[in-house]
């Protein structure tokens, strides 16, 4: 199942972004230059509670990759959604962030000065999930005459509408039931036939609650025309312009960790579970999330040429086009406004 995260990540959270991005600069925190011979101190803001594809930050910290680059990461903060994360980093509340990249496009059109520097999910991990014994998702047209749980204010609804449009399915042929997060419960209780789901996030949990692997029917959006990025690493225009050396060194450490995680997903899951006593029982979940990314989202033709995290202009055009086509954004930015491969290219040239 493909289609780029976290259930509340909202393309349509424009009003929130617009109001907060233009607000006061409270909680602003710029990267702190180190004392003579010391380390540059930075903070990281995640989009949600810890999951598999956040492992790179913790791996780079625990294995000393950041330290090797002269950086001390003083905090890796969990979040409450991509829109908030983009706003926080954009207004100086953290130096680097991890968020849904289509949401970054939306934020950019609302004057939040953020830019992607690595795409972790080369394809979106969004898709449709159903209980296989109730509905086999042989294609998007399997939804005809069925009940779909939808969350109209979220990014998942943008995906759902785009998927139907791409496959010439009349939305009126599907009965929509408005649900509130966590809306997977509606699926498990049989109140809806299908929901939108993230293959590298809640699918392992859904499978567990449904009785194990093979109990779900999963349709990957990327298999049916939904060509968009998922989540990735980003920072601000200000930091890129004022301290490109710091951004480069951070990217170097992150990419080294990314490579290690992709080659050692089980070890990465164990390291991630060991970062907090509250996460000790989540090793298997993190491992399944990471394996889904290794199998489906981490690599593309572009990464085979230029390495993990590298971004393709055509894929950005497709991502922006989906948002424009669904009227999530009024004006489509140029790809160069929302991403740069500069730091990945420089890192690979080392």
Q: What integer pLDDT is reported at residue 134 of this predicted model?
A: 94
Written in H, E and C, the secondary structure of the chain is CCCCCCCCCCCCCHHHHHHHHCCCCCCCCCCECCCCCCCEEEEEECCCCCCHHHHHHHHHHHCCHHHHCCEEEEEEECCCCHHHHHHHHHCCCCCEEEEEHHHHHHHHCCCCCEEEEEECCCCCCEEEEEECCCCCCCCHHHHCCCEEEECCCCHHHHHHHHHHHHCCCCHHHCEEEECCCCCHHHHHCCCCCEEEEECCCCHHHHHHHHCCCCCEEEEEHHHHCCCCCCEEEEEEHHHHHHCHHHHHHHHHHHHHHHHHHHHCHHHHHHHHHCCCHHHHHHHHHHHHHHHHHHHHCCCCHHHHHHCCCCCCHHHHHHHHHHHHHCCCCCCCCCHHHHECCHHHHHHHCC
**Claim to verify: residue 200 and residue 246 sit in the same structural domain:** no
**Claim to verify: residue 179 and residue 297 sit in the same structural domain:** no
How do beta strands 126-131 and 194-198 pair?
antiparallel
**Claim to verify: residue 261 and residue 295 sit in the same structural domain:** yes
CATH number of the domain residue 193 falls in = 3.40.190.10
Looking at 175, 204, 224, the residue that finishes a domain is 224
Total domains in the chain come to 2
**Claim to verify: residue 215 and residue 240 sit in the same structural domain:** no
CB proximity list for 301: less than 8 A, separation 6 or greater: 312
Looking at 195, 224, 253, the residue that finishes a domain is 224
- What Rg value do the Cα atoms of the chain yield, rounded? 19
Looking at 224, 240, 259, the residue that finishes a domain is 224
Q: What integer pLDDT is reported at residue 37 of this predicted model?
A: 59
**Claim to verify: residue 241 and residue 182 sit in the same structural domain:** no
**Claim to verify: residue 37 and residue 155 sit in the same structural domain:** no
The token duo for 91 is 């207004």
Burial of 36 (0-12, 13-18, 19+ CB in 10 A): exposed
| Domain span including residue 92 | 14-123+229-348
The token duo for 258 is 């990314």
* Helix pair angle (55-62, 265-273), 10° resolution: 80
Q: What integer pLDDT is reported at residue 22 of this predicted model?
A: 34
**Cβ pair 87, 17 in contact under 8 A:** yes
What are the phi and psi torsion angles at 3 (to 5°)? 150, 70
pTM of the model: 0.84
The tens place of each residue's pLDDT in the chain, 350 residues long, gives 333 333 333 333 333 333 333 333 334 445 555 544 599 999 999 999 999 999 999 999 999 999 999 999 999 999 988 999 999 999 999 999 999 999 999 999 999 999 999 999 999 999 999 999 999 999 999 999 999 999 887 778 889 999 999 999 999 999 999 988 777 789 999 999 999 998 898 788 888 888 888 899 999 999 999 999 999 999 999 999 999 999 999 999 999 999 999 999 999 999 999 999 999 999 999 999 999 999 999 999 999 999 999 999 999 999 999 999 988 899 999 999 999 999 999 998 76
**Claim to verify: residue 100 and residue 204 sit in the same structural domain:** no
Tell me the HSE value of 197 on the side-chain side, using a 13 A CA sphere.
31
Determine, yes or no, domain membership for 117: yes
**Cβ pair 283, 147 in contact under 8 A:** no
For residues 327 and 134, give the distance between their C-alpha atoms in angstroms, rounded to a whole number.
Answer: 33
**Claim to verify: residue 106 and residue 94 sit in the same structural domain:** yes
Determine, yes or no, domain membership for 234: yes
């Amino acid at each position: 199942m493909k289609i780029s995260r976290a259930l509340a990540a909202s393309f349509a959270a424009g009003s929130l972004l617009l109001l907060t991005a233009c607000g006061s600069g409270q909680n602003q925190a710029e990267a702190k230059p180190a004392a003579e011979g010391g380390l540059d101190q930075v903070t990281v803001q995640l989009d949600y509670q810890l999951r598999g594809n956040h492992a790179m930050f913790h791996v780079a910290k625990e294995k000393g990759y950041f330290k090797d680059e002269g950086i001390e990461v003083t905090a890796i903060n969990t979040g409450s959604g991509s829109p908030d994360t983009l706003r926080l980093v954009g207004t100086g509340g953290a130096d680097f962030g991890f968020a849904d990249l289509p949401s970054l496009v939306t934020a950019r059109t609302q004057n939040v000065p953020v830019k992607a520097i690595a795409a972790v999910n080369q394809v979106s991990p969004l898709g449709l999930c159903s209980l296989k014994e109730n509905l086999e998702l042989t294609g998007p047209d399997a939804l005809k005459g069925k009940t779909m749980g939808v969350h109209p204010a979220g990014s998942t609804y943008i995906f759902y509408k785009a998927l139907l449009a791409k496959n010439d399915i009349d939305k009126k042929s599907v009965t929509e039931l408005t649900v509130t997060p966590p809306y997977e419960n509606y699926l498990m209780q049989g109140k809806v036939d299908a929901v939108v789901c993230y293959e590298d996030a809640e699918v392992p949990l859904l499978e567990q609650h449904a009785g194990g692997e093979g109990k779900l029917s999963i349709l990957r959006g990327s298999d049916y025309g939904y060509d968009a990025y998922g989540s990735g690493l980003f920072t601000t225009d200000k930091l890129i312009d004022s301290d490109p050396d710091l951004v480069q060194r951070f990217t170097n450490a992150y990419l080294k960790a990314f490579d290690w995680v992709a080659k050692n997903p089980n070890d990465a899951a164990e390291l991630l579970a060991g970062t907090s006593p509250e996460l000790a029982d989540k090793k298997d979940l993190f491992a399944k999330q990471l394996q889904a990314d290794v199998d489906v989202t981490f690599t593309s033709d572009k990464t085979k040429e230029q390495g993990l995290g590298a971004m393709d202009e055509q894929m950005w055009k497709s991502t922006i086009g989906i948002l424009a086509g669904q009227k999530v954004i009024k004006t489509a930015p140029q790809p160069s406004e929302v991403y740069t491969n500069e730091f990945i290219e420089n890192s690979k040239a080392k």
